[in-house]
Amino acid sequence: MTAHDIRAPLRAELDRWQAAGKTARFWLRDDDAIEPTPALEKLLGLTGAAGVPLTLAVIPASTGEALATRLADESQVLVALHGWSHTNHARPDEKKQELGAHRAADVVLGELRDGFEILQQLFGRQFIPMLVPPWNRINGALIADLPELGLETLSVYGAAKARSPIRLLNTHVDIMNWHGIRGGRPHDELVADVVTELRTRFDDDAEPIGILTHHLVHDETAWAFLSDLLTETITHPAVAWKSAASLVDA
């Protein structure tokens, strides 16, 4: 099956949206940015050429002036807080977590406060007060305290829960396969996931569709899917790629 055929279900679903006069909102979040790299250049090149806004979840303990300088003129790039150091504090038999209940809440919140200040100072207007927990996991007891740190939005993975003490802007389709071979997932699976997200929103599109990438570990399969997705959607009348800031303010 050709790449063209693989994308046919997506095209058909978007055409259905167009026929109904609807517009699907997408946004793009990429995790684990630290410094300028060839992989980051490739990501910036793809999104820049497509005119698609990008939110980079940056690890504050590991970043610095080099990344800030590189991104300074990237008008469509925003920076979000990606925990503190992306360190796993969970037990070996647990799923990885940095912001879990394994340490005192004041310690965890103190790290987030420090990270917030670092990113705000480095990136200025490009910094969006949004927390992206490493591994998309956070101790629920901490969430109500995030606004006191200046964090206005939380971004994890999966459908947003109906009740949350903070605004949610989640991702829903992760292009990476984290189980077994670490690489991009098969394109037909990813197309099916995007189509599923579109279908669930056809009658209620209150929650935009978040695409999740990790530029530092992309293989050619991952890069090819991201490129194909952007190519297929940027000119389609039923798609609007939005910045995280515009979605938060909506």
Burial of 236 per CB tally in 10 Å (0-12, 13-18, 19+): middle
Question: The dihedral of CA 149, 155, 160, 161: what is its sign?
Answer: negative
Domains: count for the chain = 1
Does the pTM surpass 0.85? The reply is yes
**70 — alpha (psi -120 to 50), left (phi > 0) or beta?**
alpha
Please give the structure tokens belonging to residue 102.
């394994």
C-alpha to C-alpha distance for 127 and 151, rounded to whole angstroms: 11
Q: Residue 79 sits in which domain range?
A: 3-249
Q: What are the pLDDT tens digits along the chain (250 aa)?
A: 455 589 999 999 999 999 999 999 999 999 999 999 999 999 999 999 999 999 999 999 999 999 999 999 999 999 999 999 988 888 888 888 998 889 999 999 999 999 999 999 999 999 999 999 999 999 999 999 999 999 999 999 999 876 788 999 999 999 999 887 779 999 999 999 999 999 999 999 889 999 999 999 999 999 999 999 999 999 999 999 999 999 998 6
Residue 136's CATH number? 3.20.20.370
